């Protein structure tokens, strides 16, 4: 018998992210605890510089915390190697960016024979068609 999947998809405990800027440390996140249930829709809000993008980067496995535990679908991804993290990203994470972040129109027209480029621009078009331009993202 297969055990039922937990209702929790994302669980963070004591997440910290520190950036080193020369002799200074920037404490972008200090001890974030967060639980997100499977199927939930959430918005992360806060003033500029409060750490939204830093948190989203960690949540999306683009970056890792300096300290703390991040369980994604029950697996601690806070300390994975870059290759393992890329694998998790490829299997579990989808990004919808505010801007295309794929190919500029100029680049697309220059590389119009490239199949993967055409696919990428089609995904970008489909993405923007589904989301209003005014959507707020971190
Ligand atoms: N790569 C970096 N190197 C150094 N400091 C950084 C870096 N990225 C972010 N920070 C700092 O970390 C803090 C949090 O930044 P972050 O970009 O996560 O905030 P934000 O809430 O997304 O802000 P905004 O609403 O302006 O996008 C800020 O003080 C920022 O200056
Ligand atoms: Mg931001």
22 & 72 share domain = yes
CA of 55 to the centre of ligand 1 (A): 10
pTM (2 d.p.): 0.75
pLDDT value, residue 97: 77
Q: Whose CA is nearest to atom 10 of ligand 1?
A: 28
CA of 110 to the centre of ligand 1 (A): 34
102 & 87 share domain = no
**For 89-118, what is each residue's pLDDT tens digit?**
999 999 887 776 666 665 555 545 445 444
Please indicate, yes or no, if residue 3 is contained in any of the structural domains: no
Mutation choice for ligand 1 from 15, 18, 19, CB with most ligand atoms inside 8 A: 19
> Could you list the residue range(s) of the whole structural domain that residue 131 is in?
96-138
DSSP state of 74: T
Q: Which of these, 109, 71, 69, lies nearest to 92 by C-alpha position?
A: 71
**For 30-42, what is each residue's pLDDT tens digit?**
999 999 999 999 9
Q: Distances in Å between the alpha carbon of 2 and those of 6, 7, 83, 87, 97?
A: 12, 15, 29, 24, 36
Say yes or no: CB of residue 111 within 6 Å of ligand 1: no
């Amino acid at each position: 018998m297969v055990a039922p999947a937990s209702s929790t998809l994302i669980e963070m405990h004591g997440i910290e992210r520190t950036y080193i800027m020369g002799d200074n440390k920037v404490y972008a996140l200090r001890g974030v605890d967060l639980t997100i249930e499977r199927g939930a829709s959430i918005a992360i809000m806060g003033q500029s510089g409060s750490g939204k993008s830093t948190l989203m980067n960690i949540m999306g496995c683009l970056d890792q915390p300096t300290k703390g535990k991040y369980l994604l679908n029950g697996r601690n991804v806070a300390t994975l190697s870059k290759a393992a993290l890329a694998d998790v990203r490829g299997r579990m994470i989808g990004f919808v960016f505010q801007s295309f972040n794929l190919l500029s129109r100029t680049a697309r027209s220059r590389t119009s024979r490239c199949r993967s480029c055409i696919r990428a621009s089609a995904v970008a078009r489909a993405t923007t068609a589904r989301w209003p331009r005014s959507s707020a993202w971190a």
